[in-house]
């Protein structure tokens, strides 16, 4: 990571998924998963990204800043960043989860947030801010390119289904609580067959993520 951790236990906890804790330590108290660190890291990441965008785009309004931040901290983007960083290879998780690539990408994104929470507790905000800027965003993400990216995967999928005379349906599959926020899990089905699921803090964005996964499955897009 480019630095020596102070409190190693925090970093071990950051990569310990709840499924692993439940299977390995069902009766033992004090063996914590990474959920609380994930909550903290999510808040720190939001603040850092908001500050970067605020300073980088002085002439842009709140709507642009909010939308661009949402792209950067989306479940899909964090999962991709975490895999690029190799964090997926460090997660402790329960049996069976490793066979599902989509689940592992989600676990990896959560672990990235938990790692940032651990760094914050161990090193403080300024250190964590520099780590996010120099080690994460600078190495793995082009913010300016992402800010200009406008991709409507749902529209592309609907257009494809109409062309191929297929029936398309978006459904709310699940609702989760993360901290004080609600996460929506939306599924998309083509002719009754589920081809993608997405989870986000709004139904609209969750639909976009589900549509993106379906577009990859149907080879409408490559990635």
Outline where 73-217 has alpha helix (H): 75-84, 101-123, 125-131, 138-140, 143-148, 153-163, 203-217
Find out whether 55 and 143 touch, Cβ atoms under 8 Å: no
Say whether 113 is catalytic: yes
Find out whether 190 and 166 touch, Cβ atoms under 8 Å: yes
Phi (first) and psi of residue 94, to 5 degrees:
-75, 165
Find out whether 221 and 204 touch, Cβ atoms under 8 Å: no
Q: Which of 28, 29, 38, 42 is catalytic?
A: 42
Say whether 42 is catalytic: yes
Distance of CA 160 to the CA centre of its chain: 27
Q: Which of 38, 88, 113, 207 is catalytic?
A: 113
Phi (first) and psi of residue 45, to 5 degrees:
-60, -45
Closest CA to 105 of 132, 67, 74: 74
Find out whether 106 and 176 touch, Cβ atoms under 8 Å: no
Interhelix angle 75-84/101-123, nearest 10 degrees: 80
Residues serving a catalytic function are 42, 113
């Amino acid at each position: 990571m480019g630095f020596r951790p102070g409190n190693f236990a925090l970093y071990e906890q950051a990569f310990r998924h709840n499924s692993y804790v439940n299977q390995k330590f069902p009766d033992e108290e004090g063996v914590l998963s990474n959920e609380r660190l994930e909550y903290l890291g999510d808040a720190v990441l939001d603040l850092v990204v908001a500050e970067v965008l605020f300073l980088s785009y002085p002439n842009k309004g709140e709507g642009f800043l909010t939308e661009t931040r949402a792209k950067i901290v989306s479940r899909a983007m964090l999962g991709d960043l975490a895999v690029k960083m190799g964090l997926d290879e460090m997660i402790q998780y329960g049996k069976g989860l490793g066979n599902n690539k989509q689940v592992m990408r989600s676990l990896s994104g959560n672990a990235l947030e938990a790692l940032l929470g651990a760094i914050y507790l161990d090193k403080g905000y300024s250190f964590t801010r520099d780590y996010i800027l120099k080690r994460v965003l600078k190495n793995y993400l082009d913010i300016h390119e992402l800010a200009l990216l406008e991709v409507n995967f749902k529209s592309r999928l609907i257009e494809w289904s109409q062309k191929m005379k297929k029936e398309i349906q978006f459904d709310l599959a699940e609702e989760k609580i993360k901290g004080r926020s609600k996460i929506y899990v939306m599924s998309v089905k083509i002719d009754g067959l589920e081809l993608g699921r997405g989870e986000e803090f709004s139904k609209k964005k969750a639909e976009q993520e589900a549509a993106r996964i379906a577009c990859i499955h149907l080879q409408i897009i490559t990635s």
